[in-house]
Amino acid sequence: MAEQPLAGRRAMVTGAGSGIGAAIAARLVADGAEVTCVDVNADAVRAVADQVGGTPLVVDLSDQAAVADMAIDTDILVSNAGIQHVAPIDEFPLDRFDLIMRLMVHTPFQLVRSALPGMYERGFGRVVHISSAHGLRASLHKSAYVMAKHATEGLSKVTALEGAGRGVTSNCVNPGYVRTPLVQKQVVDQAAAHGMSETEALEKVILARAAIKELIDPEDIAAAVAFVVSPSASMMTGASLSLDGGWTAT
């Protein structure tokens, strides 16, 4: 029987209806955790939960009242839910800016705030934020997303300081471009916009700043999360773990 380092632990993964979140949920279940899969898309999150052996929870995480009503009693919190909107600052729609701030700044704070008392009481907790290379760098026309990811980095570090000595760690995992339907659509769109092949668009546009010109598999992000919440990472806290093909090395 495969080793299950998270046996007996409870985990909550937001944005678990697809992509990175679904891969993380699957990995944590495989490592022995009881996983609650949270997403706004009811059909998607129920399908993922059924597939991986988790428990679905349908919540609109941009609704602050709905988030406040969540009963969060978990050993491991993986904050992954997020959206993107691309526009210059002077053209950025305020309603989209507000939505991104609610979903990607206010909600992670509220989730951590709700989870910490139980973690402190048990003397164990693992908080993981799926940040981004954009939590460490900036890109044109992504002001709200970059702001939100930089805020995530700050929240994680403060949580790490406050949780020190109480069995709670907090870390960020910082992917570059991950192989998801959303990113693959960007490749197609950029190829059409620049009149080049999809391979050229991937290497010369999407991954222009990365040393390794390949998309990251969601399972690789899940493996990083599995390490961060494992017993082997008990001294890792306040860190930002980059998986970006060398993007942030430039």
Tell me the per-residue pLDDT of 129-139, one tens digit each, with 9 for 90 and over: 999 999 999 99
Q: Which residues have CB under 8 Å from 165's CB, separation 6+?
A: none
Catalytic residue among 145, 186, 221, 239: 145
Per-residue confidence band for 31, with pLDDT thresholds at 50, 70 and 90: very high
So what's the pLDDT on residue 183? 87
Please report which residue ranges of 123-205 form alpha helices under DSSP H. 143-163, 181-194, 198-201
Strands (E), 8-142: 10-14, 34-39, 55-58, 76-79, 125-130
The model's pLDDT over 178-209, given as tens digits with 9 standing for 90+, comes to: 998 878 888 898 899 899 999 999 999 999 99
Residue 167 phi, psi (nearest 5): 80, 10
The yes-or-no verdict on residue 55 having pLDDT over 90 is yes
Please state the rounded mean pLDDT for residues 78-82: 98
So what's the pLDDT on residue 180? 87
pTM of the model: 0.96
Coil, strand, or helix at residue 196?
Answer: coil
Instruction: Tell me which of 97-101, 138-142, 145-149 is least confident.
Output: 138-142
The model's pLDDT over 81-98, given as tens digits with 9 standing for 90+, comes to: 999 998 999 999 999 999
Coil, strand, or helix at residue 208?
Answer: coil
The yes-or-no verdict on residue 1 having pLDDT over 70 is no
Verify whether residue 120 is a known catalytic residue.
no
Task: Please name each of the domains of the chain with its CATH number.
Answer: 10-176+217-237 (3.40.50.720), 180-215 (no CATH)
